[in-house]
Amino acid sequence: MKYIAISLVFILTFSCKQKQTKVEEKAIVSVAYKTELSAGNIERIEVFPSKYIASRTVDIWLPENYSATKKYAVLYMHDGQMLFDAETTWNKQEWNIDKTGGDLLAKGLLKPFIVVGIHSIASSRFFDLYPQKALNYIPKNTLEGIFSIAKENNVDMDLSKFNGDAYLKFLIQELKPYIDRTYAVQPDKENTFVMGSSMGGLMSMYAICEYPEVFSGAACLSTHWIGMKYDKVDTGSIATSFFDYIKDHMPDPNTHRIYFDFGTETLDQYYVEFEQEVNVLFKSKGYTNKNFENLKFEGADHTERSWQKRLDIPLTFLLKK
């Protein structure tokens, strides 16, 4: 690494009772993360506190020659632990976004941007990244049946377990304000984007639908339309619930851009059947080839290696100059 940067931000929480005031200080500490990068540097917040969800690690990738005198767009990404360092990931793969993003920036093809990688927690990832309000579009009897099947598969699942709305409150109300005041970024909607794969693809879709005033673009790779994969679960009803939710919450096509894609192998094979439904859904609401993509990648599977190979496409879709 070129340098080690440490920054401290203190969050103050006040509670008053009988004329007594208690002040709780929580320090957010960011330290340079040492790993081999193709371009730029990473600052890591090992424990980002939250009152909404479990505290977690957040990585901030700053591009080569990052300068506090410039202004940068911000790309928020889920599963942040999978982005930069294959040596530490469970499958020894990574998105390698520092290389792809750095190369595109060096060629002058993208506007300057930073990446905020939100780490997921294995035990709660599914519940954190599930589009919570879409559950309201599943018939009660069907939903109860899904919960029962999940329990047969040793997954304790009920409505109280889903954290998608709280996850977004963390991102919007806690993480984004910290990023906006700590880094040289443009905080407006036009320069704020979200990206993820699989469950992170679902959450990226959900984020732009729930907060269209915050995000102007979302990239959803290998979007997990089936929601979950258990024998006997009607995955079609789950996908339909996502589509019905989107119909009611789709952001304005005049001011937003949305990218989807999918492969044809391993888990991605289950997304192929929804290709036309997704296309019709968005185009019926006014989206065109200028602000909407839903791309098919023959032979691509459900891995970071596959997402890495095509990462330049969604990055250019969102951040092209």
* pLDDT single digits (tens) 187-222: 999 999 999 999 999 999 999 999 999 999 999 999
Provide the whole-model pTM: 0.91
- 29-37 long-range contacts (CB < 8 A, ≥24 apart) are 30/5, 30/6, 30/60, 30/182, 31/4, 31/5, 31/6, 32/1, 32/3, 32/4, 32/5, 32/6, 33/1, 33/59, 33/84, 33/85, 34/1, 35/84, 35/85, 35/87, 35/88, 37/84, 37/98, 37/99
pLDDT at 279: 98
Q: Residue 86 — very low, low, confident or very high, per pLDDT cuts 50/70/90?
A: confident
CATH fold group of domain 32-319: Rossmann fold (3.40.50)
pLDDT above 50 (res 269): yes
pLDDT at 89: 87
* pLDDT single digits (tens) 16-51: 333 333 334 466 888 888 788 888 899 999 999 999
pLDDT at 23: 33
pLDDT at 181: 97
* pLDDT single digits (tens) 129-183: 999 999 999 999 999 999 999 999 999 999 999 999 999 999 999 999 999 999 9
Domain positions in the chain are 32-319
Mean pLDDT, all residues of the chain? 91
pLDDT at 10: 44
**Token code pair at residue 95:** 């998105």
pLDDT above 80 (res 9): no
Q: Residue 94 — very low, low, confident or very high, per pLDDT cuts 50/70/90?
A: confident
